[in-house]
Homo-oligomer: A and B are copies of this chain.
Amino acid sequence: MSSTWGRNIKISIFGQSHSAAVGIVIDGFPAGFKVDMKALADFMRRRSPGRNRLSTSRRESDEIEFVSGLVGDTLCGVPLCALIKNIDVRPGDYTELYDLPRPGHADYTAAVKFGGHQDASGGGHFSGRLTAPLCVAGGICIQILAARKIYIASHIEKIAGISDKRFDPVTLSANDFMNLTHEPLTVIDPEAGARMVKEIEAARADGDSVGGVVECAVIGLPAGAGSPMFEGMENKISSLVFGIPAVKGIEFGSGFDCANLRGSENNDPFIISEDGLVRTKTNNHGGILGGITTGMPLIFRVAIKPTPSIAKPQQTVSLSERRPKELRITGRHDPCIVPRALPAIEAAAALAVCDSLLTNN
């Protein structure tokens, strides 16, 4: 049991890669908020495959069918259910996965956990496809936050060892978000993006894949959101982000670099801003102290492993015969899922922030 999350915005995600649909129930949205359906569809499109030559050729309709929770386009206060139909389904691609687990995938662990009764087609409930319903929730949360002048954006900080610039954690503004380059990759520095593209292409040519890091930021947050200990902003964000397939690490502010710093370097001195607000001079704390926002930009980075589905032959085992087998994966797969992970990570951030700002009574 696992696919529910949240205290004030409670989500329940369902569906398998090749079931009739994937979807989500969201309980706790504020009544009376009008959803911008066009903006939501645009947000969903960023996650969709098939947009350009860098991603899988599987055509996925990410069109949302709203089952409940709306009167017209306005949230009516009761649970919203959204479906995204699975079309272009080819279950035949996957039948051998019950016996030959793919390295780096959950085929083996699902088989053990569910006693062989798992839906193995396309990874079942473990598929990256399940980030689509997460994006429905997050996409609406982003709109709710924008109405409060809280904005979220992310960019590719690294792919295949090539680094983009980072957000400036002190001066970061909505303008910086506007100035991001989006084609062919979402980056601050287009030149770095161009080099990333070359690495992705090279990996694809080799029947291989590459991983990366995404940097995400939330600006406009008031100070005082979050909680001590287990419902802090870091806890909430990480408990969502690790629900996105392929995520293997997360860090806030200076993160792992703080192991190389002294306290006098890592501490962020408090200052009074020109408009009389309490701010910090630097932002190694990533906008969070004691689990609670300081009002500085909230910044975190997420490590995403290389797509485990690669064309190259790989070594696996036959679960039934208990002996080695060579595996050749023939389906359609992205050589790099980092670009498509961006909206999912923004969605996770938006959900965590809404869950910390909204109330349930």
Contacts and interface: CB of A to CB of B under 8 A. Distances in A.
Interface in A212-259: 212-213, 223-232, 234-236, 238-240, 242-243, 245, 247-256, 258-259
Contacts of A324: 271-272
A172 B84 CA distance: 44
Contact of A1 (B16, B116, B231, B266): B231
Copies in the complex: 4
Interface stretch (A51-59, A187-195, A289-297): A289-297
Contact of A245 (B235, B256, B290, B304): B290
A61 interface: no
Contacts of A256: 213, 248-249, 251, 256, 303
A297 to B, nearest CB: 15
Interface in A19-55: 19-23, 25, 27-28, 31-32
22 contacts: A1-B10, A7-B360, A8-B361, A14-B80, A15-B68, A23-B67, A23-B81, A32-B114, A105-B290, A106-B228, A106-B289, A108-B270, A109-B292, A211-B258, A234-B248, A238-B250, A248-B251, A261-B306, A263-B310, A264-B312, A264-B314, A272-B323
Interface stretch (A119-127, A138-146, A178-186): A119-127
B235 A243 contact: yes
A357 B293 CA distance: 25
A173 interface: no
Nearest to A316: B270
A129 to B, nearest CB: 11
A356 to B, nearest CB: 6
A77 interface: yes
Given A242-B234, A248-B253, A269-B315, A77 B13 contact: no
Which 7 pairs from chain A and chain B are nearest by CB? A106-B290, A249-B251, A2-B227, A359-B359, A209-B263, A109-B292, A112-B224
Given A106-B228, A262-B210, A310-B264, A25 B25 contact: yes
Interface string A81-111: 1010000000000000000010111101110
A113 B233 CA distance: 13
B109 A224 contact: yes
A37 B65 CA distance: 26
A322 B3 contact: no
B1 A227 contact: yes
Which of A3, A16, A294 has the largest number of chain B CB atoms within 10 A? A3
A223 B12 contact: no
A278 B235 CA distance: 33
B292 A106 contact: yes
Contacts of A63: none
A317 B270 contact: yes
Contacts of A322: 272, 276
